[in-house]
Amino acid sequence: MERLPTIVVGGGIGGLATALALARVGRPVHVLEKAPEFGEIGAGLQLAPNAMHVLDRLGVLGEISKHAVYPARLVWMDAIRAERITEVDLGDAFKRRFGHPYIVMHRGDLLNALLDGCKAERLITLATSRDVVSVEPGEDTVRVRCADGTTFSTELLVGADGLHSTVRRLIVDDEPVYDGYVAFRGTIPIQQMSAHAGLDNVVMWVGPQMHFVQYPIRRGELYNQVAVFKSPGFRPGNPEFGTAAELDAHYAQTCDYIRGCIQVMWRDKRWQMVDRHPILRWTRGRVALLGDAAHPMYQYIAQGACQAIEDALCLAKHLAARPNRPAEALTAYQNDRKLRTARVQITARAMGAYFHLAGVPAIVRNDLMERRRTDDYSMIDWLYGHRA
């Protein structure tokens, strides 16, 4: 059995950011990834200033900037009437207020930037095809067993293994929460998009039990689209719902422009929207949760990856302050993060309900949002202005 100082279970964005953050404070890390290679499923990703601050601290902004797009504004549109509701100016005033820009990019490009950073760090080792099937915490060590029979002993284990975390089962016995919403995602070459979309913007079209998000990625070469709607086929306990036929039927009520965009969506894969209820306990002895393993959330405010990145820096800070007291450091990390991430989880769910209003409530929402100034950032200060 190989004994290691720190093991991170999961080689996604949160896991690699954690490895890099821990190595930056002098802690050796071994990353165990279930898949045969490091990679990300999905396409587009939004990174707000709260995450950009951490990525800057980790020294990867230079590589990220080679692939990112810097949108000029976040635009809300009415999906039925094809009318602008409001927008958030992401220009100079935004950058002065929050210290960093708002960017969009391909998830794979961010993961590769973090992976390159990890490969260049002598304190980080990486292993693929390591499916962790059991974790046994002890008083001074944690034993990890993989599906191929490989076993490890470690002083500290971080579970960054996502929504269906194996490590989480050590700490809480709960299940993911489904509410019937489904997302279809896909990209097309930028040349195929109408300029009506605003090719330098992040555009979100809102409507009854649906929203549709568009923005450019990969240096502006691709256009990312996400179509979310509530499936009429959803039943509690049955996760098989949300077909392409349901997608077309639901979006038939939208304006001509969106109906045209729906026709070029990828149809071979869908993502069922799911989160879990917030929990206040993330640790057990020398084991801690991070990212979606700790606080999976709806993507409605684009903070899932951002919160995992915040976690990484916070964890490294506490371990650096208590290098010989890992259990104490993990408790301090948990206490630093649990209420903030719970607020983000709850806000994401609430914003989904706000996006998906219909009838008179939607009219009132639009009227309220139309009155705000484009440079009024007061409602997002708590989120984007946070420094992990």
Residue with tokens 């309220």, as numbered in its chain: 368
CA distances from 332 to 287, 317, 348, 366, 386 (A): 13, 10, 25, 42, 18
CA angle 372, 374, 380 (to 5 degrees): 80
Separation of alpha carbons 360 and 204, rounded Å: 20
Question: Do residues 176 and 164 lie in contact, with contact meaning Cβ atoms separated by under 8 Å?
Answer: yes
Separation of alpha carbons 244 and 184, rounded Å: 8
Other Cβ atoms less than 10 A from the Cβ of 373: the count is 10
- H-run or E-run covering 202: strand 201-207
238 φ/ψ angles, rounded to the nearest 5 degrees: -120, 100
Q: Indicate which residue of 102, 178, 215, 251 is catalytic.
A: 215
Separation of alpha carbons 380 and 387, rounded Å: 13
First to last CA, the chain: 35
Reduce the secondary structure of 32-75 to three states and give it as a string: ECCCCCCCCCCCEEEECHHHHHHHHHCCCHHHHHCCCECCCEEE
Cα 123 to chain centroid distance, Å, stands at 26
223 is catalytic: no
CA pseudo-torsion sign 159, 226, 205, 197? positive
Question: Do residues 33 and 130 lie in contact, with contact meaning Cβ atoms separated by under 8 Å?
Answer: yes
Residue with tokens 């923005």, as numbered in its chain: 215
* Alpha-helical runs (H) found in the chain: 13-24, 49-57, 61-65, 92-98, 107-119, 244-251, 256-262, 304-321, 326-355, 359-370, 381-384
Tokens of 220: 């502006």
φ/ψ region of 336 (left if φ > 0, alpha if ψ in -120 to 50, else beta) reads alpha
Bridge partners (DSSP) of residue 206 are 78, 211
Separation of alpha carbons 45 and 42, rounded Å: 9
Return the active site residues.
215
